[in-house]
Structure 1
Amino acid sequence: MSKRQKRKNVRRQSTKSGLAPGTPVFIGERKRETTRIDIIDYDDAALNEFPDTTVEQCTLLAQSETVTWINVIGLHDLGMIELIGKRFNLHPLTIEDLVNTNQRPKAEIFPDYLFIVLKMMSYSETANSVDVEHVSLILGKNYVISFLENEGDVFDTVRARIRSAKGRIRAMPSDYLAYVLMDAVVDHYFLAVERIGDFIEDIDDRLLADPQPDDVQEIHRLKREILVLRKAVWPLREEVGAIEKSESPLIHHETRIFLRDLYDHTIQVIDMVETFRDLLGGMHDTYLSSVSNHMNEIMKVLTIIATIFIPLTFIVGVYGMNFEHMPELKWPWGYYLIWLVMAGVGVGMVLFFKRKKWI
């Protein structure tokens, strides 16, 4: 997200000042023109898909005994979001948070549903940065509603598992579907963190071998990417833990085991993020140290050269004086002797430096 867009989001956040709690105000970047609803309805025996359907169809399917995944793409249509909220008896504060893309990850437990907020992330090779998208999940008795900002998501593998009936997903209740969606989001955290880790390792090797001024900008860019990941992952640990430990009847005993595994995955991501954060924190000092050491090596060579030439310059200066009576001036071998003395002085100083291990 650009700095201009971030400033725009801050201004939109300020428009909520003075409004009653629960008043929905879309805060974020409008990433598509229209809001669309796609449905996948399934059980262990049958599968039905309803692309680009209506809110009425969502309500009818959610009341059946099958598991219904309702995927809402586009958050800017407040009228449709509010209509979905009314049909599924969502709290006004939940509707407010659904359309606020700046909302931090959290989990709220209501009598009839669970409200889960996530940050979906993927590393963009073209933009060379982490793409962040706001994702919200509503877990009900026989349904899961996912709210996305844009068309692309990380749930293609989930759809493929449902369509192919691989594994246990078609035989499990809706809470397992919610877990699978959360797990897909966390799995892409690993991909993003590992990609950033590759850049960190490359820069770390380059700083020790041949540091360049552009490396400082790259370090600051990676610091910002790690900060974005850290803000998304740290609340997720508490979120998953709260869902797993909740006494909500919507979370079955079979699913709690998988939620504990998801909790462990969040801890692993946090450890990776903190490790890379510490590495980046010391890279600026490493860069300065490498540049300083490189400069010291250059100054060392120049100093040795200057030190060797100091006595030679002295000898040349002595015999460059304009005195008439100097004994060696009229000696036939004086010129060659002076060259021999200067060469001996230079070689002797080099041997002395090596003995002292200065070179």
Structure 2
Amino acid sequence: MTLRLPSAGGGSYPYTPRSEPARFTGGGAPLVSRTVLAAAHVVADPRADTSPDAPAAVDWDATLAFRRHLWSHGLGVAEAMDTAQRGMGLDWAGAAELIRRSAAEAKAVGGRIACGAGTDQLAPGPASLADVRAAYEEQLALVEESGAQAVLMASRALAAAATTPDDYLGVYAPLLRQAAAPVVLHWLGPMFDPALEGYWGSADLDTATETFLQVIAEHPAKVDGIKVSLLDAGREIELRRRLPAGVRCYTGDDFHYPELIEGDERGFSHALLGVFDPLGPVAAQAVRVLDTGDTKGFRQLLDPTVELARHLFRAPTRFYKTGVVFLAWLAGHQDHFTMVGGLQSARSLPHLARAYELADGLGLFPDPGRAEARMRSLLGVYGAPA
């Protein structure tokens, strides 16, 4: 059957959904040539009596089931990151519970997990550098006690409190010294969070890069890798070439990930990506192809997904989570399109319709008929003819 999908200009156009999904099977050999983690979303409890300003109500069964889905394809899970709506609906209490539950599930199924440690338990308003450091220490301890690898997330409070690059060095250096195991350092650009403008002590990215590299150079044994989320492929390549031996680059570039993961004669990026939440099965299959040395086959699988990724992450980029959860609903990983904090309203109907069309064209939906029916029901809710 044909759907009429709304266009950005106010009209509509016919679309005929595909009848068969592409075949991206779970299981198989472990991923070898690249370490790949998907930053996973949380599933809200749609029946909870809550409000956008109240603590998040999470459907824990569906949330953990989605992580098992990612692990079943051989991917690692990056937990309690910005994809899980940290700072956009999920507070520290909810994130702490998410870390505990997901880390226990990872241990039970043998899945790889890394979890975000930040400072979002601090009250709104000014905080001292000592407050920031103490908040980081609390979250780092919880992540390590859970048995997960820590990702030191960029901190809004630190961005607000720091006045010089030395302030960043003074916070990160003791954290790295006391970390029980090597961590991942996360540089999240302001397109993902405007409050992080000027992170590492300067709005000039060249200057900020020098501070970032200084933190790593002074503690290379405590840094497993860096996650770079600046949506600038050239800068990421330059940065990864300057990393100390043994320190990995995990791309967080949801616009250029195929070329960055493939790499060049001087190296490559591993991956820690929010877009691999909806693209998990095809991403895992592509990396298995890459494991055989078939770079052409790798790109043939992954390159067609970039149009969808760029659509989901288009400005304002921080609202990409809405499209991610929408696709999880269409794919059958949850039975509703509701998000913590009411963020399901953050993208327009034409934006969601285009996401459906692109994902369906890639064969991402295990049951295309169910995805079509759910898209049709959403159009009805909006009063749009289907």
TM-score, length-scaled by structure 2 = 0.25
Higher relative contact order, chain-length normalized (CA < 8 Å, sep 6+)? 2
TM-score, length-scaled by structure 1 = 0.26
Structure number, greater radius of gyration: 1
